[in-house]
C-alpha cells in the first residue's frame, strides 16, 4: 500500500525520505563468503544514517554495494572502501585484481556516487585520516596482527556510539575445514576485545559477523 499523500507531504516538509517498501538489487555473483550478511550492513547503515562509513577489504564490492545502497536511500553519507585490489595473503581465489569489477558492480547498483574507492593498503589510507567514523566494516587482512592493526588504526576515529563490524569471527568454533587456515586471527582478536569488556554481539551465520562498540564496558546510558 502506498503512503497517503499527506504523509508524503509532511515528510518532504521535514526533509525526510519515506522508507522504501522493498529494495531490488541486481543479480551479481560477488563470490563472497559474506553472502546475505551484506543485508546486515545495509540495515545498520539505513538505521544509523551515517555521515562517514569505512570498509577495509572490498574485493568485488558486495559490502560496498549494500552500504552504498543504504546511503543512496538516505540521500546522504559516504563510504570509503579501502582495498589495494592486488594480490595479498588474504584474497579469495577468484578475487585478486578486482578494481574494475568493483567499479562495474557499484555502477550496476547505482551507488558509485556514494562510494569512494581507496585503492591502497589500510595503513597507507589511515595516514593523515581526520574524519569521524560512524561505522566501519573490517574484512581485510585476517591474520591476528593484521586485524589488530586495522582496529588500532581506525578505532580512535570511531565515534562513541559508532560500530565496528568484523567478518569471519566464528572460524574457530565452526570451521570450514576445506577453507580454514592456521593463521586465521580474526576470532582470536575479537574474542580478546570481548574479554577486555568491549560490547560484542556475534551472529553465527556467514562465518560469523560480530558487531563491536569502541568503548570498553559499553557507553553509559544513564547520567552518573
Task: Please state the three-class secondary structure of the chain as a single string.
Answer: CCCCHHHHHHHHHCCCCCCCCCCCCCCCCCCCCCHHHHHHHHHHHHHHCCCEEEEECCCCCHHHHHHHHHHHHHCCCEEEEECCCCCCCCCECCECCCHHHHHHHHHHHCCHHHEEEECCCHHHHHCCCCCCEEEEEECCCCCHHHHHHHHHHHHHHEEEEEEEEEECCCCCCCCCCCCCCCCCCHHHHHHHHHHCCCCEEEECCCCCEEEECCCCCCCCCCCC
- For each of the domains in the chain, give its residue range(s) and CATH number, in order of start: 31-212 (3.40.50.150)
Residue 60 has what pLDDT?
A: 92
What are the pLDDT digits (tens) for 129-163?
Answer: 999 999 999 999 999 999 999 999 999 999 999 99
Which tens digits make up the pLDDT trace of 49-100? 999 999 999 999 999 999 999 999 999 999 999 999 988 776 676 767 889 9
What average pLDDT does this structure show over 31-55? 96
pTM of the model: 0.87
Amino acid at each position: 500500500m502506498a503512503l497517503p499523500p499527506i504523509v508524503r507531504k509532511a515528510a518532504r516538509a521535514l526533509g525526510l525520505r519515506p522508507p522504501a517498501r522493498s529494495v531490488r538489487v541486481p543479480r551479481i555473483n560477488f563470490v563472497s563468503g559474506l553472502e546475505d550478511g551484506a543485508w546486515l550492513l545495509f540495515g545498520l547503515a539505513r538505521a544509523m544514517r551515517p555521515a562517514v562509513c569505512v570498509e577495509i577489504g572490498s574485493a568485488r564490492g558486495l559490502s560496498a554495494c549494500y552500504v552504498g545502497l543504504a546511503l543512496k536511500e538516505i540521500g546522504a553519507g559516504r563510504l570509503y572502501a579501502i582495498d589495494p585490489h592486488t594480490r595479498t595473503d588474504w584474497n579469495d581465489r577468484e578475487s585478486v585484481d578486482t578494481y574494475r569489477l568493483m567499479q562495474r558492480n557499484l555502477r550496476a547498483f547505482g551507488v558509485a556516487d556514494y562510494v569512494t574507492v581507496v585503492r591502497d593498503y589500510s595503513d597507507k589510507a589511515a595516514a593523515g585520516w581526520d574524519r569521524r567514523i560512524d561505522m566501519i566494516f573490517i574484512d581485510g587482512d585476517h591474520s591476528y596482527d593484521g586485524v589488530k592493526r586495522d582496529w588500532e588504526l581506525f578505532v580512535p576515529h570511531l565515534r562513541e556510539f559508532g560500530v565496528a563490524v568484523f567478518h569471519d569471527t566464528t572460524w574457530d568454533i565452526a570451521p570450514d575445514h576445506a577453507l580454514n587456515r592456521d593463521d586465521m586471527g580474526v576470532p582470536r582478536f575479537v574474542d580478546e576485545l570481548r574479554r577486555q569488556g568491549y560490547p560484542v554481539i556475534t551472529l553465527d551465520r556467514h562465518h560469523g559477523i560480530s558487531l563491536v562498540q569502541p568503548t570498553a564496558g559499553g557507553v553509559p546510558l544513564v547520567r552518573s
